[in-house]
Amino acid sequence: MKISFVIPVYNEEKGFLKFYNSLLLPELEKIKYDYEVILVNDGSKDKSLEVIQKLSDADKRIKVLSFSRNFGKEVALTAGIREAEGDGILTMDADGQQPPKLIHEFIKKWEEGGEIVIGVRGKYEKHGLIAKVGSKLFYAMLRAMGVKDTVPGSTDFRLIDRCVADEYNKLTEHGRITRGLMDWMGFKKVYIDYIYGNRLAGKPSYNFSKLFNLAIDSFISLSTTPLVIFAWVGGFITIASLILGIFVLIEEFAMGDPIGLKWTGTTCVSIFITFLIGLVMISQSVTALYVSHIHAEAQGRPLYIIDRKNSRNLKKEK
């Protein structure tokens, strides 16, 4: 039996060695299975690649899968899982925020039959208000859109069984969010609560705009509700304006304005027109978002490009 550890690395030169040598390695030495570590260099702009290449030169169990540019963490995880040969595959961040001490607990749950063991972020040791509120909002919206199975706070600190990985590797979509896809796939899930620690070094690279785009991507790839919402809103507005129109007609013209509202036709018309133009524009852009996703899928480009020259110890291409 073998366990693969998949770790995306993006600009982690400052903290990576500390993470690997003092946090992860001591734990790896304790596990009773064979293991391999797949470090996915996601187009780092600092010296991360050199750092991890050195590690892999010294230990053949460490593989380096280097991208030709930055493709994002979700894609890095996907590539790592595709490369993994283990019977169980554990994904975790390279910054030490997900405590490697817990891997034994993950492995135990997996041995007990959990096919997807998911780390759920309980408390943050130190985390900005925006991140907290943003994450709450994200899960609330996912639920509202009909994606019911997500447990709020689920993270990519996760162990999946070989059978899950084999199915996961068949998924081809581009705008992907691993968490959502894992939920969508089903299988037997087990959750482990943990405290999200602080970064060892460097800055988190997921800033507000990256997270916002990720949220939009996941809404679109996981749910078609946004399309339906605007049909309903459109319908509601139409009926509401019809009722208001009839009210104005009766109040103003049939009853001679008893309440004294003094509606002028122009006011009504202009308010409605502006309102409807806004609505049409919003619904257009929602549709456009879906179309752009179809566009990306239709292009059928590979999800990522591996820079073979800078990669180390990878399995041969089939």
- Contacts with ligand UDP by CB under 6 A lie at 8-10, 12, 42, 70, 72-73, 76, 93-95, 97, 204-206
149 phi/psi in degrees, rounded to 5: -85, 0
Sheet of strand 88-91, all strands in order from the earlier edge strand to the far edge: 62-66, 34-41, 2-9, 88-91, 154-161, 116-124, 189-196
Minimum Å distance from CB 247 to Mg ion?
55
Cα(240)–Cα(292) distance, rounded to whole angstroms? 32
Based on CB atoms, which residue is closest to ligand UDP, 172 or 213?
A: 213
Residue 10's binding partner among Mg ion, ligand UDP, none (Cβ under 5 to 8 angstroms by kind) is ligand UDP
Minimum Å distance from CB 97 to Mg ion?
4
Among 56, 66, 78, 97, binds Mg ion (CB under 5 A): 97
Q: How many CB atoms lie within 10 A of CB 43?
A: 21
How many residues are there in the chain? 318
Based on CB atoms, which residue is closest to Mg ion, 103 or 220?
A: 103
Residue 13's binding partner among Mg ion, ligand UDP, none (Cβ under 5 to 8 angstroms by kind) is none
Structure tokens at 121: 């972020």
Structure tokens at 257: 């304005």
By the 8 A CB rule, do 41 and 6 touch? no
By the 8 A CB rule, do 33 and 3 touch? yes
Minimum Å distance from CB 233 to ligand UDP?
33
Minimum Å distance from CB 72 to Mg ion?
14
Based on CB atoms, which residue is closest to ligand UDP, 65 or 107?
A: 65
Residue 70's binding partner among ligand UDP, Mg ion, none (Cβ under 5 to 8 angstroms by kind) is ligand UDP
Residue 121's binding partner among ligand UDP, Mg ion, none (Cβ under 5 to 8 angstroms by kind) is none
Minimum Å distance from CB 9 to ligand UDP?
5
Minimum Å distance from CB 52 to ligand UDP?
11
Cα(29)–Cα(21) distance, rounded to whole angstroms? 11
- Asked if 36 is part of the footprint of Mg ion (rule: CB under 5 A), the reply reads no
Tell how far CA 106 is from the center of its chain.
Answer: 21
Cα(192)–Cα(153) distance, rounded to whole angstroms? 11
Question: Candidates 98-106, 159-167, 197-205, 299-307 — which segment interacts with Mg ion by CB under 5 A?
Answer: 197-205
Among 13, 36, 74, 95, binds Mg ion (CB under 5 A): 95
Based on CB atoms, which residue is closest to ligand UDP, 157 or 168?
A: 157
Minimum Å distance from CB 205 to Mg ion?
8
By the 8 A CB rule, do 125 and 99 touch? no
Q: H or E segment at 290?
A: helix 265-299
Structure tokens at 58: 């010294």
Residue ranges in contact with Mg ion by CB under 5 A: 93, 95, 97, 204
